[in-house]
Structure 1
Amino acid sequence: MNTLKQGDAVPNFTAKDEQGNTISLSDYKGKKLVVFFYPKASTPGCTVEACNLRDNYKELQAQGYELLGVSADSAKRQSNFKNKYEFPFPLLADEDKTVINAFGVWGPKKFMGREYDGIHRMTFLIDKNGVVDRVIEKVKTKDHAAQILEK
């Protein structure tokens, strides 16, 4: 896995969100951006994580952050996830893994003794110039907004 690190420039990406809108990194030029990757929409851990970010969204925005969630789910699955939990931020349906591979979060995982390839739950804080400011590798799903806001 060749994951982006602090100080790396984020390659420009373009992907569709849950409603079919095209979203690019360049849309966030001049803004601070949180890109959080999660394995699968509507699963327990991913739901807890995204709901924690939703519940702290105003605080994150007050600190100047925009949010973007990414998984390899279909637009329909992302749309159902967003609508069910009323997320105020876009969810990218990165089925071809363009964004996932650009950030380097796809790789070998272990779960219950089984090895497989999948998305690693990681979050990237990107500065106004499109450079990785911080990487959160050990995401606490219940307390993720606090992790983002800590200096």
Structure 2
Amino acid sequence: MVGKRPRPAAAQAQPTFDPSQPLPPNLPVPVDDGACKHLPGLAVPSMKLRSTRDRWVDLAAVDAPRIVVYCYPRTGRPGEPLPPGWDAIPGARGCTPETCGFRDHHKELQELGAEVFGLSTQTTDYQKEMVERLHVPFEVLSDADLAFVH
């Protein structure tokens, strides 16, 4: 028909974080590119990172037979929209399940002499909410200033 304009495409709703829902089936699968193969066994440089227990932690000074530090980009909050393009990042939707896995196996890791820390670039206040909501028994460290990243 002459004179009719095509309708604009409907805006796609930004997905929200809802840990009670299954992950979308079409997420990209993470692939190990080998970029971190050199890291096991290396000493962590001395730096102080803020903890969810309101103290500064220097991982280089932790006195434990083993230290487990798992790093993740961010933890979402239920009902909040995910950042644009988040689902296109391989493994990005696994941050909360990863934390819950370390939480669920924390006692076993302690029995093996490991002290566990989570680490992200989110603020300590943001992390405290996650620690409380997910009942995380170990400290989560903030690298909001990107000291650990560099």
TM-score by length of 2: 0.60
Aligned match of 1:91: 140
Q: Radius of gyration: which is bigger?
A: 2
Please give the root-mean-square deviation of Cα atoms over the aligned residues, in Å.
Answer: 2.1
Deviations 1:99-124 (A, max 9, x none): 222xxxxxxxxxxxxxxxxxxxxxxx
Aligned match of 1:53: 102
The structure carrying a bigger strand percent of its residues is 1
Aligned match of 2:116: 67
| Aligned-pair CA distance for 1:42 | 2.9
| Aligned-pair CA distance for 1:4 | 5.4
The structure carrying a bigger helix percent of its residues is 1
Identity %: 30
Whole-Å Cα distance in 1 between the matches of residues 104 and 126 of structure 2?
Answer: 21
Which ranges of structure 1 fall in alignment gaps of 5 or more residues?
Answer: 102-151
Deviations 1:50-73 (A, max 9, x none): 001101111111111110111010
Aligned length: 101
Query: Which amino acid in 2 is paired with 1:59?
Result: E
